Structure 1
């Protein structure tokens, strides 16, 4: 398993398949930050700006798309993807 990196630039859209990707492994810290912000009821625009590094004031559509897709992937990771993460980590 790759070491999760902090404060990465994100793609406009997170992966959406049923398999863990290298992108997912690299963005674990981003996903956890999104889940924490979501649990706290943080404004999505603040989260997009500070966690995803996309400013909704300048790029509304891109920020919303990035936020929605990454939050959905974060929930997938927490509900399903972590199993694959544990399996790949055990093999390495």
Structure 2
């Protein structure tokens, strides 16, 4: 048997630990879908350039979500937890 529950997938477990994972996936898929939808009305732009711009936008969103997730995790681990540990010690 594995280290986590049988019915719980790895994606679901990671999503609980870091809520920015599904946000990054959803944003990437949304931007890629929007880029494909706008493909028919790209105007004078070459298809390869349009696809490159869509890819860069999707990757930028994912990198931004990862950055925000790392900052949030560091804030939670290094600012909030030390305050919680100091609060009970000061009240004694």
Q: Higher helix proportion, which one?
A: 2
Report 1 or 2 for greater relative contact order, CA contacts < 8 Å, sequence distance ≥ 6. Answer: 1
Flag whether TM exceeds 0.5 (same fold): no
Larger Rg: 2
| TM-score normalised to structure 2 length | 0.34
